[in-house]
Amino acid sequence: MSSAVVDALQRPVRDLRISVTDRCNFRCTYCMPKEIFGRDYAFLPRTELLSFEEITRLAHLFSNEGVSKVRVTGGEPLLRRELERLVAMLAAIDGITDIALTTNGAALAAKARTLKNAGLNRVTVSLDALDDDTFAAMNDVGFPVARVLEGIQAAADAGLTPVKVNMVVKRHVNDHAILAMAERFRHSGHILRFIEYMDVGTTNGWRLDDVVAAEEIRSTIDANWPLEPLRPNYPGEVANRYRYRDNAGETGLIAAVTQPFCGNCTRARLSADGKLHTCLFASRGHDLRALLRSGATDQELAQHLHAIWTARADRYSEARTAQTLQAAKIEMSYIGG
The single-letter code of the amino acid at 79 is L
What confidence tens digit (pLDDT) does each residue in 261-282 have?
A: 788 899 999 999 999 999 887 8
Cα(303)–Cα(215) distance, integer angstroms: 42
Secondary structure (3-state) at 301: helix
- CA distances to 28, 162, 225, 233, 258 from 246, rounded to whole Å, are 34, 19, 8, 21, 28
What confidence tens digit (pLDDT) does each residue in 169-198 have?
A: 999 999 999 999 999 999 999 999 999 998
As averages over each run of 10 residues, the pLDDT of the chain (337 residues) reads: 78 96 93 89 95 98 96 97 98 97 98 98 98 95 97 98 96 96 98 90 75 97 98 89 98 91 90 93 89 97 97 79 57 70
- CA neighbours within 13 Å on the CB side: how many for 326? 2
The reported pLDDT for the residue numbered 280 is 81
The reported pLDDT for the residue numbered 297 is 98
The single-letter code of the amino acid at 303 is Q
Alpha helices in the chain (DSSP H): 52-65, 83-91, 108-118, 132-139, 145-158, 178-185, 214-222, 288-293, 298-310, 322-325, 332-335
Domain ranges of the chain: 15-335
Residue 257's contacts (CB-CB under 8 Å, 6 or more residues apart) are 196, 197, 198, 199, 208, 211, 213, 317, 320
Torsion of CA 253, 257, 261, 267, to 10 degrees: 90
The average confidence (pLDDT) of the chain is 92
- CA distances to 41, 124, 141 from 135, rounded to whole Å, are 23, 17, 10
Residue 235 CB-density burial (10 A; 0-12 exposed, 13-18 middle, 19+ buried) = exposed
Secondary structure (3-state) at 333: helix
The domain 15-335 having CATH identifier 3.20.20.70: the answer here is yes
Quick check: 128 and 135 in contact, CB under 8 A?
A: yes
Predicted TM-score (pTM) of the model is 0.93
The reported pLDDT for the residue numbered 1 is 43
The reported pLDDT for the residue numbered 321 is 55
The reported pLDDT for the residue numbered 337 is 63
